Amino acid sequence: MPQLKQPPSLESIVLQSLQRFILTLGQKLLGKVCSGTPATVLPTRWGMPSFLVRENCSKSSELEELRYFLHPGLPLNLSNSVTSAVLEAIATVISRAKCTYDGFSKSGDDCCRDIIENMISVALHAQVARVDLLQWPWFIGEILLKHLGNFQHLEVLKLWPGSWSPVWTTVVEMLENGHCLLNNLVSFSMRCHCTDKILQVLAHSTRLQYLDVMFSVDVTDTCVSSLLQLNNLKVVNMCSTSLSAQGYTELLIGLPHLSKLVWFDLNCHALGNMKMSPLSLHSYEASRVSIDHLIILVHICPYLTQVSLHWVEADLSVLGALKHLQEVKLAQCSAVNSNLKGLLEIIGYNIISLELHELRDVDLLMIGALCVNLKKMSLVCDLQSVEESFLGIKTPLFKELKDLKFGSEYSECLFFNCTNIRKLEISRCQNFNDNVVATLLTKNPLKQLQVLSIAHSGQLSMKTVHLLLESCDNLRVLEGLDSWGGVSKLQVMELCMEMKRKNMDIEILWKKPLHISW
């Protein structure tokens, strides 16, 4: 059975109490003005005319008092924790509002909208160090954008366009004109909407180490001179921008500490033009890879620890010369024709992460025997049938594997051997059912498993849930039950209530949360 919850810290208790207070206050304020009927309206937008709403409907003495209560005298790290806790409570208030069906995106009463906006404004303070739009619902993110110019010590700024709104036009103008204080930035992400002018302003952010402007077509070679002033840059994502091979080459040469530059080098056009070597680059991504491409790569980038290659038409054993290589990601090719075995025979002992997407003829036995130190593996590919071959293997395989993402036909030889797995994500495994789980837990009880996600696989029922709870002593998260087929939402709710009564430290989630890595 899962372990019992441990007593929370004093700080956690205080923050939870604050969240309950904000939730109660928000529902009380909305209850005074909310129509209770969802209606689609043209939402109020920053920089656009507001609706004619009841005068002063959003003003509240409680909110004015709260403004002076939350932050004065608090240390910066605690003040940021208070802000996050309050915003989480406001997100709950939004989800329970009766006048909107989409979190005030395109529906909701104007008075309720104004109250929520004022509550968010009260929660913010000038010393906010981190703004991440992915962390919050759309409406909270839009209010954060309105206050972007007020934050004086931003270190992390992640601007993710969940949906288009006129706010983005204003934000772009603010950033281009230098109206936001970005000198302390360590990490900046702005996908889709970044421009050369914004990067020109960022040239003064000398502490910047991480930059992500993926999908921003207005980022061109013009930005190269600005980025070359950022000598502390370590990771840059320029994928799907208008950067050319020449611009890519200039960045590689001019940024001495750059370890990762995400930009798919098609047919080795960029590296092929390099006149100097070796580079200090640690990560490289390319598509339509030929043997000449790999030879150039090994010569110019001998310190690579990570490679990501798509549409490989070459002998991968050439990469065996990369003695520091630890992470390999391959997609859209044949494991046999590209000689994956040849590569792993040379440096398989050094590989700790292996991701194979849409590969053909993948030999699990070969991977397990050669990659003895493998800790993370992702398999969304066609596997060779080697179940009988595994029966003759006496040495346990995959014993170091901690993280597995599996999207192929179920393989006993793999799952029976992963005795130390901590995180397991299964999808598109149509022959994964209750009987398979029962047999698996008999052979491998998954005692170290902490996070399990099963989605869009075979027919699973509450029998599997109870088997997992009985066997997996360290299980903390079980998610994706909405796609199991044999489980109802009511059953999951009842089980969650039972786990809460027993004080079990486990989350059982009906839907698999959306995780976006950027």
426 forms bridges with which residues in the sheet?
Answer: 406, 454
Q: What is the pLDDT of residue 43?
A: 46
CB 325 within 8 A of CB 302: no
3-state secondary structure 207-265: CCCEEECCCCCECCHHHHHHHCCCCCCCEEECCCCCCCHHHHHHHHHHCCCCCEEECCE
CB 269 within 8 A of CB 248: no
Non-local CB neighbours of 446 within 8 Å, separated by 6+ positions: 419, 421, 424, 440, 468, 471, 472
Chain centroid to CA 35: how far?
Answer: 37
CB 482 within 8 A of CB 489: yes
**How confident is the prediction along the chain (518 residues), in pLDDT tens digits per residue?**
778 788 889 999 999 999 999 999 999 999 988 888 887 655 444 334 333 344 445 456 777 777 777 776 778 788 888 899 999 999 999 999 999 988 888 888 888 989 999 999 988 888 888 999 888 888 898 899 888 888 888 999 998 765 556 677 888 888 998 888 888 999 999 988 899 999 999 999 999 999 999 999 999 999 999 999 999 999 999 988 999 888 988 898 888 788 888 877 766 677 777 766 688 889 988 888 889 889 988 988 899 999 999 999 899 999 999 999 999 999 999 999 999 999 999 999 999 999 999 999 899 989 999 999 999 999 998 888 665 555 566 677 899 999 999 998 888 888 999 999 999 999 988 889 999 999 999 999 999 999 999 998 888 999 999 999 999 999 999 999 998 989 999 999 999 999 989 898 999 988 877 655 54
**SS3 for 518?**
coil
**Among 302, 268, 270, 301, which Cα is nearest to 287's?**
268
pTM of the model: 0.83
**Among 190, 263, 262, 202, which Cα is nearest to 227's?**
202
Q: What is the pLDDT of residue 46?
A: 39
CB 353 within 8 A of CB 326: yes
Q: What is the pLDDT of residue 59?
A: 56
The CA–CA distances, whole Å, from 418 to 357, 385, 401, 440 equal 20, 18, 6, 11
Non-local CB neighbours of 473 within 8 Å, separated by 6+ positions: 1, 2, 3, 447
The DSSP secondary-structure symbol of 513 reads: P
Enter the tokens of residue 59: 């003003």
Residue 55: how many CB atoms within 10 A of its CB? 7
Q: What is the pLDDT of residue 84?
A: 92
